[in-house]
Amino acid sequence: MTVTPTPRAAVSHPSRKLAAALAGWHRALLNAQAAGHPAGGNPYALLQAVMHDPEFTWLRKVSDLMVRIDEANAKGAKPSPEAMQGFLSTATALADGEDEEFHERQTRFVLRPEVVAAHAALQSTLAELRQALQQ
């Protein structure tokens, strides 16, 4: 019998659901930013660009949030309700354009279908999680 690992997005804890939605949005934005960039066709060069090229710095706000969520979930732990509220607040600020620098950069890609779809999925997840946490 073969055991198939459960996909990360299927995990029921709200923080994991948020992390999965953020990862999809981040991936779409990263791919959009990488299009036409010299490092875009080489995963190793792209990794270096993401870490060191100022053109990719704006995406760190999303990746840093994903890291914070992953750290809160480390070794089976679950974030406190207060931590979840903080994660939701930060994600909402990024998704809703409250962070002016981030908003200006991400609006360059709003017409790309994959970015639109990932942003819509994130917004849906945020609304669902906000509602669930209020109950």
| pLDDT reading at 6 higher than 80 | no
Read off the pLDDT of residues 88-129 as tens digits, 9 standing for 90 and up. 999 999 999 999 999 999 999 989 999 999 999 999 999 999
| pLDDT reading at 7 higher than 60 | no
Contacts of 61 (CB under 8 A, 6+ apart): 94, 99, 102
The answer to whether the Cα torsion of 61, 63, 68, 69 is positive or negative is positive
**pLDDT average, residue stretch 7-14:** 58
Q: Give domain limits for the chain.
A: 21-134
Read off the pLDDT of residues 51-100 as tens digits, 9 standing for 90 and up. 999 999 999 999 999 999 999 998 788 898 899 999 999 999 999 999 99
| pLDDT reading at 18 higher than 80 | yes
pLDDT of residue 36: 87
The answer to whether the Cα torsion of 48, 93, 9, 14 is positive or negative is positive
pTM of this structure: 0.86
